Chains A and B, each alone.
Chain A
Amino acid sequence: MATEAHGEAGQAVGMPQLDFSTWPNQIFWLLVTLVVIYLVLSKVALPRIAAVLADRKSTITNDLAAAEELKQKAVEAEKAYNEALANARSEAAKIVAQARAEIQKDVDAATAKADAEIAAKAAESERTIAAIRDGAAAAVAEVAREVAVELVAALGAKADADTVTAAVAARLKG
């Protein structure tokens, strides 16, 4: 008697799986469990997880798009920068060329002016030299005539001054 009672309460008689008296109980509670799990999943858990996943996916997509846009902007900015740099460079080159031309003009003008001054000074000098040379020649002729007159007088001959002068002039020319 005791063994039988124990067997009913805790020990298996054959395979408990084939004890059909417990099947309605198991099936009933299984159906209850499945309905509860289904309701919890379909009403709460699955929509929530789906929303989180969709949110994350859209966030990633948006971030990627924003990154792409920023990258595009950076490329454009670099292009603009390079363009500005090239412009500045050509502008600078232009200014340098202009400045060089102006300086050249100034230099040319100054050179021309200096040349003119030099030429003027040279001409004046030449004139002065010519005057001095003429003066010298006249003095030489005077001195020669006087010396000739004195010589003639000293030699004791009477000589007409005009004749001597003419003769000296002729000699000087010859």
Chain B
Amino acid sequence: MATEEHGSGLQIHPMDQFVVKPLFGDGPVHWYTPTNVTLWMGIAVLAMIALLVLSTRRGARVPSRGQSVAELFYGFIHKMVEDVAGHEGLKFFPYIMTLFMFVFLSNMLGLIPMSFTTTSHIAVTAVLALLVFLTVTLVGLYRKGVGFLAMFWVTSAPLALRPILAVIEVVSYFVRPVSHSVRLGGNLLAGHAVIKVFAGFAGAMGVASVVPIAAIVAMYGLEVLVAAVQAYVFTILTCVYLRDAVDEAHH
């Protein structure tokens, strides 16, 4: 540590913020150890309860401010599921709402300085995406049986092209969870790392650090947008995938 400080005046560790460490002590991270992941996921749960449960406690016909926000979230996702996944998709509304609230709140909480962004970890986003992938595949096979596989056989294309298209469709289907998870994790990882790099510059540039601080402010505004948009994108893609499984008149 001492040698590092002597070696260079500019010590930037943009990845430190992503380290998973135990909340208590320095022990190894077992699967059950309470870590900063636990802490920030717990805060996300509490934020969700405050946002959607406590604010709607009175269930007033004329909503309070908090209740309006809760109704806004409800209406937004409900309409998205109905519009994109179809009426049948509404059965999965609580599930999709769970995904949206978790991703949205984790993204937003991650923007608090010194916080830990759970959704910047590929382990988290991969599990979320795999859950969606498995749900869509199993629900599709359960509801449509072998007919679910017909979505890989593009009947609107010329017969000669169909086998080739089928291969492409199958590959793209199995790539879905990868793009689904890397898009979310990568966006948050990159944004937070860039802010940290600028912050490192700001600490080492004296008066000229006005420039990186202005850049941080701009990046932060962008990251707020990214946090909301990525939660939206993740959720709407879930609805799009779900549509394949529940839509009766597909293709």
**Contacts A46-B74, A49-B52; A16 near B41 (Cβ below 8 A):** no
> Is A37 an interface position by the 8 A CB rule?
yes
Main secondary structure of the interface of A (DSSP, over half): helix
Closest residue on chain B to residue A45 by CB atoms: B52
Contacts of A32 in B (CB 8 A): 41
Contacts of B95 in A (CB 8 A): 38
> Is B15 an interface position by the 8 A CB rule?
yes
Q: Are B118 and A30 in contact (CB under 8 A)?
A: yes
Distance, CA A31 to CA B29, complexed state (A): 17
Q: Are B74 and A49 in contact (CB under 8 A)?
A: yes
Least distance between A34 CB and chain B CB atoms (Å): 6
Least distance between B33 CB and chain A CB atoms (Å): 6
Contacts of B120 in A (CB 8 A): 17
**Contacts A2-B1, A29-B38, A44-B53; A19 near B20 (Cβ below 8 A):** yes
Main secondary structure of the interface of B (DSSP, over half): helix
Contacts of A42 in B (CB 8 A): 94
CB contacts under 8 Å to B, within A30-72, are 30-34, 36-38, 40-42, 44-46, 48-53, 55-56, 59
B5-34: contact bitstring with A at CB < 8 Å (1 yes, 0 no)? 000000001011011110000101111110
Contact residues on B (Cβ < 8 Å of other chain), bracket: 35 or more
Q: Are B56 and A48 in contact (CB under 8 A)?
A: yes
**Which of A25, A34, A55, A56 counts the most chain B CB atoms within 10 A?**
A25
Stretch at the interface among B59-67, B153-161, B202-210, B218-226: B59-67
Q: Are B127 and A37 in contact (CB under 8 A)?
A: no
Contacts of A10 in B (CB 8 A): 16, 19, 21
> Is A11 an interface position by the 8 A CB rule?
yes
Q: Are B15 and A41 in contact (CB under 8 A)?
A: no
Stretch at the interface among B43-51, B143-151, B231-239: B43-51
Q: Are B31 and A33 in contact (CB under 8 A)?
A: no
B112-138: contact bitstring with A at CB < 8 Å (1 yes, 0 no)? 000000101111100110010000000
Least distance between A13 CB and chain B CB atoms (Å): 9
Distance, CA A55 to CA B63, complexed state (A): 12
With A16-B15, A46-B97, A52-B59 already in contact, 12 other A-B pairs whose C-beta atoms are closer than 8 Å = A11-B13, A26-B35, A27-B31, A27-B123, A33-B41, A33-B42, A34-B102, A40-B52, A42-B94, A49-B56, A49-B74, A52-B63
Give 7 pairs: A residue, B residue, CB < 8 Å, sorted on A: A9-B21, A16-B18, A16-B20, A25-B35, A34-B102, A34-B131, A52-B60
Binding site for B on A (CB under 8 A): 2-3, 6, 8-12, 14-19, 21-34, 36-38, 40-42, 44-46, 48-53, 55-56, 59
**Which 6 residue pairs across A and B have the least CB separation, nearest first?**
A12-B15, A24-B31, A45-B52, A22-B20, A42-B94, A16-B18
